[in-house]
Amino acid sequence: MLDRKFLNRRQLLRQSACGFGSIASAALLSGSSLAAAASGSISVRSGDADGMHPLPKAKRIIFLFMFGGVSQVDSFDYKPLLAKRHGEIRTFDDARQRAKTGGATEQQIMQSPWKFKRYGQSGRWVSELFPGMAEHIDDLCMLQAMRTEGVAHGPATLFLHCGSTNMVRPSIGSWVYYGLGNENENLPGFVSIAPSNIAGARKYGAAFLPPKFQGTRLVSRSAERFSIDDLTRDDLPMSAIERQMELLQRLNRQQIDQRESASPELEAAIESQELAWRMQQIAPEVLDLSSESEATLRMYGIDDPKTKSYGQKCLMARRMCEAGVRFIEVNYGGDEGNWDQHSNLPQHADHARAVDRPIAALLKDLKQRGLLDDTIVWWGGEFGRTPYSEGKGTGRDHNPGGFTVWLAGGGFKPGFTFGETDEFGFQGIRNRVHMHDLHATLLHQLGLDHKRLTYHHAGRDFRLTDVHGRVVHEVVG
Amino acid sequence: MVFGFMNSHIPSLRFEHFGLAAVLVLLGTTQAVAQSEKAGEIARSDHFEKKIRPALVEYCLDCHANDTEANGGLLLDSKSGWETGGDSGPAILPGDIGGSRLLTAIRYNDRNFQMPPDGKLPEEVIADFETWVAEGAFDPRVGMEGPVHEKSKGDDSQSHWAYQPIRVPSVPIGNGESDSVVDAFINDRLRSLGIAAASPASRYDQVRRLFFDLTGLPPNAEVIDEVNRAADFDVAYLNLVDRLLASPYYGEAFARRWMDVARYAESVTLRGLVFKEAWRYRDYLVAAFSEDRPFDLMIREQVAGDLMQAETSQQRWQQLAATTFLAMGDTNFEKQDKQQLEMDFIDEQLDVLGQAFLGQTLGCARCHDHKFDPIPTKDYYALAGVFRSAVALRHSNVSNWVEQPLPLSPEEEQAYAELESRLKQLSSELAAKKKVAASMAAKRKKEIAAGAQSDKDSQGNAAADDEEALAAELKTLESQQQTLQQQVELRPKVLSVSEELPPHNVAIHVRGDVHNLGEVVPRGFLTAVRLGRSIQVPEHASGRLEFAAWLSADDNPLTARVAANRFWLWLMGQGIVDTPNNFGTSGSAPSHPELLDWLAAELIRSGWSSKHVVRLIVLSDAYRRRILEPDEVAAKLDPENRYYWRGQLRRLTAEELRDTMLVASGEMELAVGGSTMKQGTKSDFGYQHTSQRRTIYQPVFRNALPDLLDAFDFATTGFSTGSRARTTVATQPLALMNNAWVHARAAALASKLMANGSEGPPPAWVRAAYQTCFQREPTAAELEVCLEFFEFDQVSQHPMHLERLVHSLLASIDFRYLR
């Protein structure tokens, strides 16, 4: 039964180049013949001359979320002028001040405490914060004039995930899952690994999309094990669980036979029970890191207490990716602290230390397994940081007007840099990419037209990019 | 052509003096002019191609192009685009720097009109635009305009059925099979379709259905037994209906349904901030539905209770509690642009109340005239003006919501006033002492810095002693302050809004943007909805009270229909209008328009009694039918049962599932009302729901719902939910099989069965378990399967097996799906 379904799913996916409608409805229906009865309905805009979604270049996304806001001028956006003019006072149009007062303010320029070096064939500059990622510089497509909305963490984090700073909207992972369905029936299509509390459950929420497209939270249960809520029970031996399952199936069958009408919904309930049973056996294997070799664990930094946590999450992401999960978010910025260095910029080094080796390992691992071709790895935070110090102190404030995001695999141009910030690394001045544009481009690479991936709710068709967004064709191959 | 001449020699300002005709005359008069014109055209073209076109692409066309949804209606992807301009008129007047709105916007001079919205352009780019406009705004992009945007369909949709007055329809003449008017309408339709209606469901099935629908709880075995033995089932059923309508649990069941519509929650997602007082709104609803408070009054109280007259303080409490409706949105209090935050807040209110009471998707009109319904943007901002005075936010970095004190007896008021003045006094005393302490510390620091080498003399020691004494005093005062603060906070408050006058009219926000204002709109209501008597907004009040009256007027064609449809949906499993929150032209058409109007008219006629309408529905044959396989005709004409020829498969909601498990395990605490959030809860993250009261009394936390709610399609708390999603997915059986809360119920049920004297041989246990879970005996076949489950093991293992058996029953089909 499982195989037949899986095959059908594969067949459906092959059609994804020919039109989106069938896939989205399939996603809605999988596991439930009644999910479509949800309050909204699928809407694919027809009537366009071509009526086509773009050809997919990638099948899934791994999003390495650097919560708190990594400073671009201390990582990938090298601005030697900062050292020359360190300590100088100059007027900047600070985003937070503008939201509050509408005006520009005097700020003190602050140089980067880290040295920069050129790497790879492309010879691009990377600071000493990220020696591991720097080794892969020729695989990365760098967007250096990103801009977004929201000056505070909550709004900007929501904007990053849902394309809105305030209104309740589905997360990009839910949109992707809704648009493409899952490759593996035994696993959820959208997984968020160890999400922190910031912006709450909305950052992996389905909002008005049917609830099945909600992101599934993966939490770390022990040193080597991650878990999904209610996936298994540990207090009984497998033989006992099996016996109880058998009993339940027999009781259900008897109850259904007593009814005067066969109902597709009841059949679906029985089927979902069988699916749950298979998930319960298969998913824990995917979640178990203990089958990985010593060498792999070491590569991801799981042998080092400083890199262990993020290393485990990255390795888990690779396993999920292999198993066919559509959207995997790998969170950094929970208990371990985050990139929000308002007053103590040198702490950036601790966070860089925690993520650099695991991310480098993930890129290497995906590449050697041939997974990078159809997987998009997306690295970035909710905004960048200012090139001047906050309150003339020793940290940097939030900066939504110019920051760096990189992408690898999935058809993004490797070794390519797009966009430029001003001489201080503050605001994008050329080839700026808005967060809406990035969303549009990510969907495009998955074969989804951001203007046609819509859902009808409260009287109108909603989409991830609202009425905005431009596919940045310049950065895809 | 014209601009070329301007560009070559004559200062641009003179353009205005010449006028077009004069320029045309001058053109082509001499060869020299023509030549310089040619050179000028090249320069202008150069400037446009090198500076302006790239800048437009980079900064403007993401929003202002024909293939986007042009913001403000302004297109910048063609010359005619900016000539025509958008909602605020032409964007550029060639040669006129001061009069070109595009330049005003990009210079950021006007706080309310700044473009691009995400940051000012670099100075050199602004200078390029100024040069361009000054030199006549050369633009070669002519004849490439895209299709004209569709305008609002407002005028055509005025004739839409939902905006027509409610007419009391003539009741079809039945053939005597039922004296219910509901059946007259339903059966008339079935007869005309030639579909045979199913007979009534079994007594057992009818009673279970009625119990869950009217109370959200299962019947107990005795009730079933009693009804089974009744000589006249119809009489017994009627009595049961009246008994359940009067039950205290009726209010809870209906309150919970309305809470979906009202997007009820007790926290916001961001930072998990908790609404400590939101429960009062829940209790208001439970009491209101229980006592059958007129539904039109409930509408007025929810929209404007704070502005209504009260005769008793109890009434005042209820009126204020009802207004929590206006303040429960999942707001992002942290948003830094506070002007935008305030508009977002009003938008959320309008969105919810539009859907909840009128079945109108008002949110669509925030940025443009409604594309499908006769709701112009003007109406939206007329309503926004009404709600502008209902202040709901007190700003700081993370803004605060508004809590209003509830009125108390004079003695209590006096006591709290005293506490507050003592707190105030103490706080200022504390502040003064802190200042002294700070200056003492600073002085000493300075002294140490200045003359660290000078030995500590007695004076220095004395200073240190003073400081210590002061520090101790501060500590005492601080703890006193804390105690007082806690006492003051005990004062009953309610989550609400604060009406602040004078009222303000609101300007149209072009494309919803607070920094791009258009025409100011007088406060008012929806122009498409016409009442018999006109209700005006007073000059010196916000008009919210009048809006509430307008909303709940008997002749408002939408309100009673929307309400009647909800009661029908809640009991029949689908609405007469299947989109309960959308009665606009993009919503579904009613399956039985006359029945809907008849129910709406009955609602009004009965003084907006919801119990009256509920009673009409549950006493109909249509409600009581069995769930049958369709015959050939039904399968062909109505496989979905839109015409109610059979009963509807009903499944328990997440709350009912949870509650029924608690009832089965014997752990349910059936208390009504009260605050249930654990003391000291600051944020909802990781909240442990340990209470065993009904699910309606578990705090609805947006980041931490009680077990099972997420998996079983609980309402989305981010916006109004008219009908919940109904999914059947693997996470549901996983929760039933593996969730620790469910295990605990199974364990409790098993021990209850053993303690209740149904000890001894397993058959007695199985019988008792079936009675507890389903209020029926197991069939012989069921008994056999259950007994087999015990067979393999020794007797000592039987209690453990009983636990797993009852766990299986709790997870089984019959527990979740009624028949």
The pLDDT mean for chain B works out to: 88
pLDDT score for B57: 79
Q: Identify the residue with better confidence: B289 or B792.
A: B289
Return the number of CB contacts < 8 Å for A and B: 255
Pick from A160, A98, A94, A157: nearest CA to A397? A94
Of A99, A245, A252, the CB nearest to B813: A252
pLDDT tens readout for residues B296-320: 999 999 999 999 999 999 999 999 9
Pick from B588, B630, B570, B541: nearest CA to B197? B630
Most confident range (mean pLDDT) of A23-37, A210-224, B708-722 is B708-722
**B336/A100 touch (CB, cutoff 8 Å), yes or no:** yes
State the Cα–Cα distance between residues B238 and B95, nearest whole angstrom.
Answer: 82
pLDDT score for B534: 86
Say if residue B41's pLDDT is above 70.
yes
* B140 — pLDDT class (breaks 50, 70, 90): confident
* Beta bridge pairs of residue A389: A108, A396
pLDDT tens readout for residues A266-286: 988 998 898 899 888 888 889
State the Cα–Cα distance between residues A350 and A182, nearest whole angstrom.
Answer: 36
Cα torsion at A120, A124, A129, A134 (round to 10°)? -30
Chain A residues within an 8 Å CB radius of B581: 458
Candidates B336, B338, B777: best to mutate against A (most CBs of A within 10 A) is: B336
Residues 6+ apart with CB under 8 A from B584: A459, B157, B160, B162, B359, B360, B361, B370, B372, B373
The pLDDT mean for chain A works out to: 86
Region B537-551: mean pLDDT is 96
Q: 10 Å Cβ neighbour count for B235?
A: 10
B-facing residues of A in 21-60 (CB < 8 A) are 31-35, 37-39
| Cβ A13 vs Cβ A185: under 8 Å | no
The token duo for A93 is: 């149009």
Chain A residues within an 8 Å CB radius of B337: 99
pLDDT score for A31: 31
B-facing residues of A in 366-385 (CB < 8 A) are none
Q: Identify the residue with better confidence: B762 or B214.
A: B214
The token duo for B431 is: 């502040």
pLDDT score for B26: 40
Crossing angle between the packed helical segments B740-755 and B654-665, to the nearest 10 degrees: 30
A43-52, A297-306, B129-138 — which is least confidently predicted? A43-52
Say if residue B615's pLDDT is above 60.
yes
B784–chain A Cβ distance below 8 A for any pair: no
**B586/A251 touch (CB, cutoff 8 Å), yes or no:** no
pLDDT score for A364: 98
B-facing residues of A in 326-365 (CB < 8 A) are none
State the Cα–Cα distance between residues A383 and A93, nearest whole angstrom.
Answer: 16
Chain A residues within an 8 Å CB radius of B74: none
State the Cα–Cα distance between residues B321 and B494, nearest whole angstrom.
Answer: 6
- pTM for this prediction: 0.81
Say if residue A65's pLDDT is above 50.
yes
| Cβ A150 vs Cβ A159: under 8 Å | yes
Say if residue B19's pLDDT is above 60.
no
Q: 10 Å Cβ neighbour count for B619?
A: 18
Q: What b/e string do you get for A353-365 counting C-beta neighbours within 10 Å, with b at 16 or more?
A: bbbbbbbbbbbbb
Say if residue B452's pLDDT is above 70.
no
- How many Å separate Cα A59 from the centre of its chain? 13
Region B201-227: mean pLDDT is 96
| Cβ B421 vs Cβ B346: under 8 Å | no
Region B121-147: mean pLDDT is 82
pLDDT score for A329: 97
Region A209-228: mean pLDDT is 82
| Cβ B272 vs Cβ B266: under 8 Å | no
- Beta strands A420-421 and A428-430 are antiparallel
pLDDT score for B73: 73
- Token pair 């009125």 is found at B407
- Shortest Cα–Cα distance, B796 to chain A (Å): 16
* B506 — pLDDT class (breaks 50, 70, 90): very high
pLDDT tens readout for residues B80-89: 888 888 777 8
Q: Which helix (H) or strand (E) holds B782?
A: helix B780-791
The token duo for B177 is: 């099979």
* B176 — pLDDT class (breaks 50, 70, 90): confident
Say if residue A447's pLDDT is above 60.
yes
pLDDT score for A201: 84
* B241 — pLDDT class (breaks 50, 70, 90): very high
Residues above pLDDT 90, as percent of chain B: 62
Region B230-239: mean pLDDT is 96
**B728/A458 touch (CB, cutoff 8 Å), yes or no:** no
User: What are the φ and ψ backbone dihedral angles of B422, each rounded to 5 degrees?
Assistant: -65, -40
| Cβ B257 vs Cβ B222: under 8 Å | no
Taking CA–CA distances from B205, the nearest residue in chain A reads: A259
Of A39, A255, A280, the CB nearest to B813: A255
Of B361, B734, B809, the CB nearest to A230: B734
Of B71, B723, B730, the CB nearest to A275: B730
CA angle B193/B199/B201 to nearest 5° reads 130
Region B484-498: mean pLDDT is 93
Say if residue B156's pLDDT is above 80.
no
Residues above pLDDT 90, as percent of chain A: 65
**A96/B336 touch (CB, cutoff 8 Å), yes or no:** yes
Residues above pLDDT 70, as percent of chain B: 90
pLDDT score for B451: 66
Of A199, A430, A459, the CB nearest to B361: A459
Candidates B729, B741, B776, B815: best to mutate against A (most CBs of A within 10 A) is: B729
Region B266-277: mean pLDDT is 94
Of B272, B336, B735, the CB nearest to A197: B272
ipTM value for the complex: 0.79
* B511 — pLDDT class (breaks 50, 70, 90): confident
A-facing residues of B in 669-708 (CB < 8 A) are 683, 685, 702-703
Region B39-56: mean pLDDT is 83
State the Cα–Cα distance between residues A199 and A168, nearest whole angstrom.
Answer: 11
State the Cα–Cα distance between residues B659 and B55, nearest whole angstrom.
Answer: 62
State the Cα–Cα distance between residues A65 and B567, nearest whole angstrom.
Answer: 45
**A254/B270 touch (CB, cutoff 8 Å), yes or no:** no
pLDDT score for B555: 94
pLDDT score for B31: 53
pLDDT score for A412: 98
Of B272, B646, B804, the CB nearest to A200: B272
Chain A residues within an 8 Å CB radius of B341: 166
Region B92-112: mean pLDDT is 86
pLDDT score for A45: 33
* B759 — pLDDT class (breaks 50, 70, 90): low
Of B703, B719, B819, the CB nearest to A168: B719
B147–chain A Cβ distance below 8 A for any pair: no
Most confident range (mean pLDDT) of A12-16, A46-50, A348-352 is A348-352
Pick from A180, A174, A252, A251: nearest CA to A206? A174
Chain A residues within an 8 Å CB radius of B587: 459
B269–chain A Cβ distance below 8 A for any pair: yes
Q: 10 Å Cβ neighbour count for A233?
A: 16
Residues 6+ apart with CB under 8 A from B589: B161, B577
**A96/B729 touch (CB, cutoff 8 Å), yes or no:** no
pLDDT score for B32: 54
B739–chain A Cβ distance below 8 A for any pair: yes
pLDDT score for B304: 98
Region A456-463: mean pLDDT is 86
Say if residue B27's pLDDT is above 60.
no
Region B642-656: mean pLDDT is 96
